[in-house]
Each structure stands twice: as structure tokens, then as C-alpha cells.
């Protein structure tokens, strides 16, 4: 929701590709204001509830040292609490290890009251770092008694299988029923064995 209703700002994603979208988000988060994030998110919540949507889970970027989106969406969460169950996910958009302050900022976001631990293992520089990030994020969730929701394998690479590590960590750490993997587009490229 930190990017909701921002189509065309700073410009349109001409390629339609994920990497251009992430690059555009990197440009937008440098110039967006607290008020813009809050107001767009509140407008979205009004639309959502008008359609009967009463529960929303949204990933909020923690790779901005200001945690501007986190603070704005925590205010939105309080504002809409009487009619929408809004869960926020601490999401290190640029990678837990790829971004030098992502881990610290993710912890700060959780300390502020963000509900769920998020991650993006396929965006790390190596498959090994991605696997390591899944383990660390699941351990953070387990230690805090929180849920974990990872954008696991958003690529066409059939070898991107971080969902398997998430399943392993959920079992190892007792996170069954509290672990979610999404954006698993690599699965369509995997062998059917």
C-alpha cells in the first residue's frame, strides 16, 4: 500500500517488467511524502471497503531508512481498524543482505508494530544469500511469535526454489500455519517430477 494509486509517478513502467517496476519504486520512494502515502492508502481502503473487502495484508518497504511508508501505513492501520483488518508486512524490497540497512530497518519496523516478517530471497545477489535470508527471516518471526510472508520465487528460473527452504524452516521452527509464500512464478518453469 505504500505505492498504491501511484500509477505514472514518477513515470509509467514501459516494459511492464518486474525489474523496471522495482527501479521505478526506488525512484518514487526517494521523493514521496508521508502525507502522500497516507492519503493514497486511505483512499484505497475506502475503495476496498466499498467493495466488501474487510481484510488486507500489505507489504511495506523497509529499505528506506526513514521508514516513511511504515509510519504512514501504521497510521492508516489505526484509522481503518474499526472496519478493516489491515496487516502490514515488513518487506526488505531491495533484499535483506543486498541492502546494507535492510535487516536493521526490518527489525525497527517490527518494533514499531508491523505485524508480519517479509522477504524477497530471489532478489538477493546469490541463491545462497536468498536461502540464508529465508532462514534468518523465519528465525526472526519465530523469536517474535509472528507470521512470515515471503515473495519467494518471482522469476522464470526453475532453479529458484526458496519456497522449499520456507517449508523446511516453517517445520523446523514450528511456524506451520504462520508461513506464507507468494509470487511463486518460478513454479511454472519447474520440471513436473
pLDDT number for residue 145: 99
pTM, 2 dp: 0.94
Q: Look up 154 and say whether it is catalytic.
A: yes
Pick the catalytic residue: 36, 104, 139, 154?
A: 154
At 10-65, the pLDDT tens digits run 999 999 998 899 899 999 999 999 999 999 999 999 999 999 999 999 999 999 99
- Collapsed DSSP state (helix, strand, coil) of residue 40: helix
pLDDT at 192 over 90: no
Q: How far apart, in Å, are the Cα atoms of 29 and each of 118, 126, 130?
A: 18, 25, 24
At 63-109, the pLDDT tens digits run 999 999 999 999 999 999 999 999 999 999 999 999 999 999 999 99
Cell numbers standing for residue 96: 535483506
Q: In the CATH scheme, what is the code of domain 55-189?
A: 3.20.20.140
pLDDT number for residue 18: 86
Task: List CB contacts of 182: < 8 A, sequence separation 6 or more.
Answer: 149, 150, 151, 152
Amino acid at each position: 500500500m505504500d505505492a498504491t494509486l501511484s500509477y505514472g509517478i514518477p513515470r509509467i513502467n514501459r516494459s511492464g517488467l518486474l525489474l523496471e517496476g522495482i527501479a521505478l519504486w526506488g525512484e518514487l520512494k526517494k521523493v514521496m511524502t508521508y502525507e502522500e502515502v497516507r492519503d493514497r492508502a486511505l483512499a484505497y481502503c475506502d475503495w476496498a471497503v466499498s467493495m466488501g473487502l474487510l481484510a488486507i495484508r500489505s507489504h511495506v518497504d523497509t529499505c528506506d531508512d526513514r521508514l516513511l511508508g511504515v509510519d504512514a501505513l501504521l497510521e492508516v492501520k489505526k484509522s481503518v481498524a474499526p472496519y478493516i483488518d489491515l496487516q502490514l508486512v515488513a518487506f526488505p524490497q531491495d533484499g535483506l543482505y543486498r541492502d546494507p540497512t535492510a535487516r536493521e530497518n526490518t527489525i525497527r519496523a517490527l518494533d514499531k508494530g508491523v505485524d508480519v516478517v517479509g522477504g524477497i530471497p530471489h532478489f538477493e545477489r546469490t541463491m545462497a544469500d536468498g536461502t540464508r535470508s529465508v532462514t534468518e527471516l523465519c528465525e526472526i518471526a519465530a523469536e517474535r511469535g509472528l507470521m512470515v510472508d515471503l515473495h519467494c520465487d518471482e522469476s522464470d528460473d526453475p532453479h529458484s526454489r526458496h519456497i522449499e527452504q520456507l517449508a523446511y524452516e516453517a517445520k523446523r521452527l514450528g511456524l506451520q500455519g504462520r508461513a506464507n509464500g507468494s509470487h511463486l512464478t518460478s513454479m511454472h518453469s519447474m520440471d513436473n517430477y
